Amino acid sequence: MVLLALMIAMMLAMLDNMIVGTAMPTIVGELGGLEHLSWVVTGYTLATAAATPIWGKLGDMYGRKATFLTSIVIFLIGSALSGMAQNMGQLIGFRAVQGLGAGGLMVGVMAIIGDLIPPRERGKYQGMMAGVMALAMIGGPLVGGTITDNWGWRWSFYINLPLGAVALALVSAVLHLPKKRSKAGIDYLGVVLLTVGITSIVLVTTWGGTEYAWTSARIMELIGIGVASLIGFVFWQTKAAEPVVPLHIFRSRNFTLMSLIGFITGFVMFGATLFLPLYQQSVQGASATNSGLLLLPMLGAMLVTSMIAGRVTTNSGRYKVFPIVGGVLMIVGLYLLSLMDTGTTRLTSGLYMAVLGAGMGCLMQITMLVAQNSVEMKDMGVASSSTTLFRTLGSSFGVAIMGALFNHRVQDVMAERAGALGKGITEKSAQLDAASLAKLPAAAREAYQHAVSAGTHSAFLLGAVIAVVVLIASLFVKEVPLKGGPQKPSSDSADAAPAPVIEAV
């Protein structure tokens, strides 16, 4: 029953952006404010990223159950207010409230599972978490479109309320964890410095190359503020009585490597989920309505390999092979996807996606498992939140960098193939919706299809190069025995945390 409640909460956090993305054209049509459209997503993302490490620390200090319930309540309040928004400014503000709660949902789920289930047994539940993720990514656009068409866009937010109420009731009734009360105060200066640093990074990746040129004064200012804040944050964490992110957790080689692997996995995964539907709609003529189904080969392979990795890890206690195999498959999958052109069939692209999905399935849950196994129980929350944060930041960088490369390549090829007309078509945005594409002359439409193929080639080739880092990092992972199983002596004190064996609650 506890796991059911946790999976519902995880679904809420993952499903929301997918549903809202589908409803955005209708929302803009009713509320106006097209120029602020991106902030509906950016406000949510910023709040989620900034709140993630704070929720993890609060859980370590004051108990997981109380902080998790609080995050659900804040998320539901933000959902209700977003559904009642009367203009775009209100919607952006309420989405930020929703994001604050969402930051605690994913961290709360991972940390509570870390408390309840020892690492040696945790692999059994990886398939469940991967299944929720796949369901959210496939079902999100479909559910969003159905709700918007039949009930109106406000129900894209209201739908969270009954699901959240079920999760809230189940967690309150059946989750029993020890209560905590830390005597140390909250590290407010650390919270401020980290929030400013994360906000600056996310804004740089969101605005760079779109709202502002990468070399503009505004982007340079944000980079300067972000770097200064993060340097100040790292320095302050060595002085604070109860640091937000205790730096000693990075002494563990495995934890540091898993943070790096999580960053790259986020970079690749969200870049792939952005460009694959775009390629299949623009080049292969697939329907935008079922865009979630286009990712089924990748997500299905990810689900299967994640379940296999979990079972093998539980039965054998060995896990180092999965990051290595995942790194290899990710590199191969991304390289194969970079070979797609205007003549690639859906079957071929589906097989390429399956290779990439299999690679990500070997990495998605193993990174969290190894990271949690590398720290003491008292740091379970900050370990979970730090790993989640690195994946979130990786996705921001992936979308920004791969997106910039894609847009630049599309505009260049359009200018080459369609001259001034092609340059004019993609001057404001290199991504055209189905309606705009249908209105183009046949020659311009063909040029655009070649341009999208060239853009996806460049983006996925970059992803393949970046994914090499995952393979290299995986080779240095130390296979420390998982807690909750037969223990072997280990000389690596930083990786073999001195916490006692955890018994399943």
> 322-340 burial, b if ≥16 CB within 10 A, otherwise e?
bbbbbbbbbbbbbbbbbeb
- pLDDT > 80? residue 41: no
pLDDT of residue 97: 92
What band does 501 get if pLDDT is binned at 50, 70 and 90?
Answer: very low
> What is the phi/psi pair of residue 239, to 5°?
-105, -25
- pLDDT > 70? residue 400: yes
Q: Phi-psi bin for 496: left (phi > 0), alpha (psi -120 to 50), beta? A: beta
Contact 278, 452 (CB under 8 A): yes
Q: How far apart (Å, rounded) are the C-alpha atoms in residues 147 and 23?
A: 9
Contact 327, 474 (CB under 8 A): yes
Amino acid identity at 130: A
Section 450-472 average pLDDT: 90
Section 446-469 average pLDDT: 89
pLDDT of residue 494: 43
pLDDT of residue 268: 86
Contact 260, 372 (CB under 8 A): no
Contact 362, 305 (CB under 8 A): yes
What band does 37 get if pLDDT is binned at 50, 70 and 90?
Answer: low
pLDDT of residue 492: 43
The pLDDT tens digits of the residues spanning 293-349 come to 777 888 888 888 888 888 888 788 888 899 999 999 999 999 999 999 888 888 898
**Closest among 170, 474, 486 to 314, alpha carbons compared:** 486
Single pTM value for the model: 0.80
**Per-chain mean pLDDT for the chain:** 81
pLDDT of residue 489: 42
Q: How far apart (Å, rounded) are the C-alpha atoms in residues 232 and 225?
A: 10
pLDDT of residue 70: 93
Contact 361, 301 (CB under 8 A): yes
Query: Nearest 10 degrees: CA dihedral of 318, 1, 109, 471?
Result: 30
- Helical segments of 151-216, H only: 155-158, 160-174, 188-207
Tell me what percent of the chain is helix, strand and coil, each rounded to the nearest 5: 80, 0, 20
What band does 450 get if pLDDT is binned at 50, 70 and 90?
Answer: confident
> 23-37 burial, b if ≥16 CB within 10 A, otherwise e?
bbebbbeebeeeebb
pLDDT of residue 497: 42
DSSP one-letter string for 208-244: BTTTB-TTSHHHHHHHHHHHHHHHHHHHHHTT-SS-S
pLDDT of residue 503: 39
What band does 481 get if pLDDT is binned at 50, 70 and 90?
Answer: confident
